[in-house]
Chains A and B, each alone.
Chain A
């Protein structure tokens, strides 16, 4: 028993190490190659020793319409905006579903569950035509405002709020003369902080990584978000500049990797939490 158990454990451990290497390897190659010259990469595409072409790769990259600073800033505006709106208004909608008794409440909740799974991407033609008609195609607000209606986040917030927020607290605040809106902002929101933090991370990441919607709405280079910038690397202008392509990829992936590793504890816990509640 003991021997076969140890053997099993060893096999599992080796498999896990293999998968871990598989997760890391592409990014390691990417980061190292971003410091190597195109000639070096052509001779040996895999190396674990960084070279000294970091700045020249960067120069070539930035010389050709690739402007990660602009993309970074636009992505930041969109992601922060969408995340703030989504978390605030989803909590507010959940509050309406948990705290108040109203006639259409159950119907509204069923409705939210019904539309939760429908991806925005599938009705993009109508969305694009609507935005085009009102001449808002190059406005980042069109990527931010739809976040106010995030059905799956409302669902999550409601499931979290139900046991977390006691109606007695709301009641006693009312007796103290607090207005409903004040109670929501000053009492409900702080109680919801852990749920908001979890959802904020995922909202931010999905907004940050979104390619489809910005690709369709944004035609002005000054408005490009980071994923569109990345898609430029696939274009002909970088065809033979391997070092610069890796540099561009590294610039977009490395910040995410660093932030992820710093917050990994919360992110992993958040994924697990989402599944239990959902």
Chain B
């Protein structure tokens, strides 16, 4: 009987995580290392897979970091992300605060949630081309509406203006993501203990004070999670800028994702340069996600330590009891 208890199940732990590990090694780790290596080589041209290291290993990195197109792409990426994240978060926060306020219930709340989230589920490629058609010139739906309601006298060609093109991409991103952020924030706010709100009410806090001093501090982790996931997604923005205006007009909607794609797969076949660009972004993303990792890990570990302490206490108690008995 005792022998059966000491039978080690540990090997099954390794056995059950083996498929994950193998797939990770082949499809994630190897490509990552391979990308890093290609960044130091002269790999370019279609169908070419033989690689030679450059005499100056950082030549590709230097070329990319001093490339004006990369600067434009990086600047655009940051601008498009920041300008969509701020209104997206503000709108999501306000809606989440309203939808969780138990002093008044908004009729049709469930339906609104469903509709606000809907754009997020539609293929980004479809959305990009749909907006390209909506802003069509001379007779796209947006022009049609603006003329019919008297805002414009004649059709306006929105898509050749750099600022407007960027604004539309920002609008699409906000439109696609505020519903998602809202739902996440709602679930965060619902997780806050109602007692804290009651205590604040007893102290005479008004709605705005409750939002600012109770709600916001209590969803800090979720806000950070939203920020980091959105930033990582934003740094990789590809589908919308690529299909909406192909990075144009005049590189106004060229993001780093589109830049990498253009370098490697449309025309140039500069795999080495694209790999170097990828690795620059990789380092940034790893740094950003490390931040989130540490915040989450601290919380998890603190919890773990508490549980462990309790277990040790319980064990000691048991031993004491055994001794006494």
A and B associate: yes
Q: Is the CB of B19 within 8 A of A121?
A: no
Q: Is the CB of B188 within 8 A of A29?
A: no
Given A100-B16, A118-B289, A272-B183, A253 contacting B123 (CB threshold 8 A): yes
Asked if A65 is at the interface (CB within 8 A of a chain B CB), the reply is no
List 22 contacting pairs A-B, 8 Å CB cutoff, sorted by A. Answer: A23-B119, A29-B141, A45-B141, A46-B141, A46-B145, A96-B17, A100-B16, A101-B13, A117-B289, A122-B281, A123-B35, A125-B271, A146-B23, A148-B19, A148-B23, A148-B27, A212-B257, A215-B261, A216-B265, A227-B124, A231-B243, A253-B126
What are the residues of chain B within 8 A of A276 when measuring CB–CB?
187-188, 191
Asked if B79 is at the interface (CB within 8 A of a chain A CB), the reply is no
Measured CB to CB, the closest approach of chain A to B23, in angstroms, equals 4
What are the residues of chain B within 8 A of A69 when measuring CB–CB?
none
Q: Is the CB of B49 within 8 A of A212?
A: no
Which residue in B123, B130, B232, B278 is a CB contact (below 8 Å) of A123? B278
Q: Is the CB of B123 within 8 A of A230?
A: yes
Q: Give chain A interface residues in 106-135, CB to chain B under 8 Å.
A: 108, 110, 113-130, 132-133
User: Which among A102, A104, A242 has the greatest number of chain B C-beta atoms within 10 A?
Assistant: A102
Q: How far is the CA of A29 from the CA of B232 in the complex (A)?
A: 32
Which residue in B144, B175, B187 is a CB contact (below 8 Å) of A273? B187
Q: How far is the CA of A147 from the CA of B11 in the complex (A)?
A: 24
Which residue in A13, A93, A208 is a CB contact (below 8 Å) of B17? A93
What are the residues of chain B within 8 A of A113 when measuring CB–CB?
293, 296-297
Q: Is the CB of B126 within 8 A of A23?
A: no
What are the residues of chain A within 8 A of B35 when measuring CB–CB?
122-127
Q: Is the CB of A45 within 8 A of B139?
A: yes
Asked if A16 is at the interface (CB within 8 A of a chain B CB), the reply is yes
Given A123-B278, A212-B239, A275-B188, A22 contacting B175 (CB threshold 8 A): yes
Asked if B136 is at the interface (CB within 8 A of a chain A CB), the reply is yes
Binary interface encoding of chain B residues 68-107 relative to chain A, with 1 for a CB under 8 A from any of its CBs, else 0: 0000000000000000000000000001001000011011
Asked if B112 is at the interface (CB within 8 A of a chain A CB), the reply is yes
Instruction: Give me 10 other A-B pairs in contact (C-beta within 8 A), A16-B108, A124-B260, A256-B121 excluded.
Output: A19-B115, A43-B139, A99-B13, A102-B11, A123-B32, A125-B35, A146-B27, A149-B20, A230-B129, A245-B133
The chain B residue with its CB closest to the CB of A133 is B49
Q: How far is the CA of A257 from the CA of B122 in the complex (A)?
A: 7
Given A149-B20, A271-B117, A30 contacting B130 (CB threshold 8 A): yes
Work out how many contacts link A and B, with CB atoms closer than 8 A: 293
What are the residues of chain B within 8 A of A93 when measuring CB–CB?
16-17, 19-20
Measured CB to CB, the closest approach of chain B to A244, in angstroms, equals 11
What are the residues of chain B within 8 A of A147 when measuring CB–CB?
23
Q: Is the CB of B264 within 8 A of A125?
A: yes
Which residue in B104, B130, B271, B274 is a CB contact (below 8 Å) of A26? B130
Q: How far is the CA of A275 from the CA of B188 in the complex (A)?
A: 8
> What's the interface size class on A, roughly?
35 or more
Asked if A49 is at the interface (CB within 8 A of a chain B CB), the reply is no
One of B159-167, B221-229, B308-316 contacting the partner: B221-229
With an 8 Å Cβ cutoff, the count of chain B residues facing the other chain is 108
What are the residues of chain B within 8 A of A260 when measuring CB–CB?
118, 121
What are the residues of chain A within 8 A of B128 when measuring CB–CB?
234
User: Which among B17, B33, B186, B275 has the greatest number of chain A C-beta atoms within 10 A?
Assistant: B17
Q: Give chain B interface residues in 112-158, CB to chain A under 8 Å.
A: 112-119, 121-134, 136, 139-141, 143-145, 148
Q: Give chain B interface residues in 286-303, CB to chain A under 8 Å.
A: 286, 288-290, 292-293, 296-297
Which residue in A19, A116, A146, A184 is a CB contact (below 8 Å) of B289? A116
Measured CB to CB, the closest approach of chain A to B174, in angstroms, equals 10
What are the residues of chain B within 8 A of A29 when measuring CB–CB?
134, 141
Measured CB to CB, the closest approach of chain B to A46, in angstroms, equals 5
Q: Is the CB of B31 within 8 A of A26?
A: no
Q: Is the CB of B125 within 8 A of A231?
A: yes
